[in-house]
Structure 1
Amino acid sequence: MIRTSFTKWFVLLSLSISVAVSSCQKDEEVKDINAVKTSTSKDSVSSVNIINTPGNFLAGKGTLKVTIEDSTYTFDASQDSIAFINVHNGDDKYFGITAINKAHNMSFGISSLGLASVKTSNDVAGSQFLFKVDDKKPLLQYTLTKYAGQQDFGKIDMDQYNHENMIAKGTFFTFLAKDDKSDSPFYRVEGSFELQLK
């Protein structure tokens, strides 16, 4: 159980690092201090083989939609940073989608154990959704809940993957809670993605 928990957090950390780097690459106006931070992040990321490895894509076009508690949030790759990544951690392989909006006040990540491929349905291994409504309210954080069911954390269904200009297209669902207590309410989160290179 400890190994599984660590692996999930490792994948989410990897996805978060990837978003931070891709986000900095997406923004055109980066100040010198941010350039130093980006350089440091790139060095850290390259040491765990996330950026500049086959199977990692920064979308140039397309959307990622996430619906939770009757609200739908949309990331648009033409202005926000959306990455589809593959992570190799020893013998374990993961793939996932991670996004951060241009305003840097909303991010989402979801991952699955295994390899991304066409016409597959893979179990969700990790997910997190963070957003800030305004400066007066605290950051809202939804994370994968282990109390959603008997090892049922949701699915990522891939319809298309890595073909011509299409990075990935599909749907997903998972269960996220605002904290990790056994009696906390959890929410079914549904979404779709259609990501292209340009």
Structure 2
Amino acid sequence: MAAASSCQKDAAVNNPDPTTTTVSADSSAVSSPNNFLAVSGTLKIKFNDSTYTFNAATDSIAFINVRSDDNTRYFGITAINKDHSMSFGISSAGFPYSNINRAIAGSQFIMSADAKQPALQLSLSRYSEPKSLGNINVVQYNSAKELAKGTFYTFMARDDKANSPYYRVEGTFDLQLK
């Protein structure tokens, strides 16, 4: 079993265009409405025989809500560790709220020893059996100090070809605002 953790949060991300969103590590809220940077808590991902952990105290973990150009709404979790050697993202269509179970719309898991050559890169597989992309179960969302708490599973592959092997990836999240 392996455990990986850490991602130094930048003090601030300064964008050249003042209309773009900036993120402050000292704030629990990302400038865009309903996007939140977790201040504490964990995101754990189980893949094969290993568990990978992101810790919000040192890594960057955000719970996001986005609207696409066609007004479709998505929510999800995105994380990157302190060393920038591991990142993970998962999303579902719709709005987040407590006690929901939704189908996965997208997922990606990347690990690398250096930024130029990923050692492992997995993304959502449309060819898993049974024909499920997985689910995200949000038990608690945006109440008191709790940002989001729940579980998920999804099926990921190295590429999106019908004969590519796919892997079940599952995890838990327990993220706090304060």
Give the TM-score normalised by the residue count of structure 1.
0.75
Larger mean Cα displacement after TM superposition, 89-98 or 167-176: 89-98
Give matches, 1:47-66, under 5 Å: 51-66=30-45
| Whole-angstrom CA distance in 2 between matches of 1:41 and 1:176 | 35
User: Where does residue 27 of structure 1 map in the other structure?
Assistant: 10
State whether residues 39 and 56 of structure 2, in contact with CA within 8 Å, keep that contact through their aligned partners in structure 1.
Answer: yes
1:164 aligns with 2:147: no
| Deviations, residues 96-122 of structure 1 (Å, cap 9, x unaligned) | 000000101100000000100110100
Shift of residue 42, structure 1, vs aligned partner:
7.2
User: CA distance change for structure 1 residues 41 and 109 in 2, over 3 Å: closer, same or farther?
Assistant: farther
1:144 aligns with 2:127: no
Structure 1, gaps ≥5 residues long:
1-22
**15, 19, 38: which one pairs with 1:39?**
15
Identity of aligned residues (%): 51
One-letter amino acid matched to 2:66 = V
User: Where does residue 107 of structure 1 map in the other structure?
Assistant: 87
Q: Which has the higher strand share?
A: 2
* Number of equivalenced pairs: 163
Q: Please report the RMSD computed on the Cα atoms of aligned residues, expressed in angstroms.
A: 2.4
One-letter amino acid matched to 1:82 = I
Shift of residue 43, structure 1, vs aligned partner:
4.7
User: CA distance change for structure 1 residues 170 and 144 in 2, over 3 Å: closer, same or farther?
Assistant: same
State whether residues 103 and 136 of structure 2, in contact with CA within 8 Å, keep that contact through their aligned partners in structure 1.
Answer: yes
User: Where does residue 190 of structure 1 map in the other structure?
Assistant: 170
Give matches, 1:59-78, under 5 Å: 59-78=38-57
Shift of residue 55, structure 1, vs aligned partner:
1.4
1:173 aligns with 2:148: no
| Whole-angstrom CA distance in 2 between matches of 1:43 and 1:109 | 25
One-letter amino acid matched to 2:91 = S
| Whole-angstrom CA distance in 2 between matches of 1:150 and 1:45 | 39
| Whole-angstrom CA distance in 2 between matches of 1:77 and 1:95 | 18
| Whole-angstrom CA distance in 1 between matches of 2:101 and 2:16 | 36
| Whole-angstrom CA distance in 2 between matches of 1:152 and 1:81 | 29
| Whole-angstrom CA distance in 1 between matches of 2:94 and 2:55 | 26
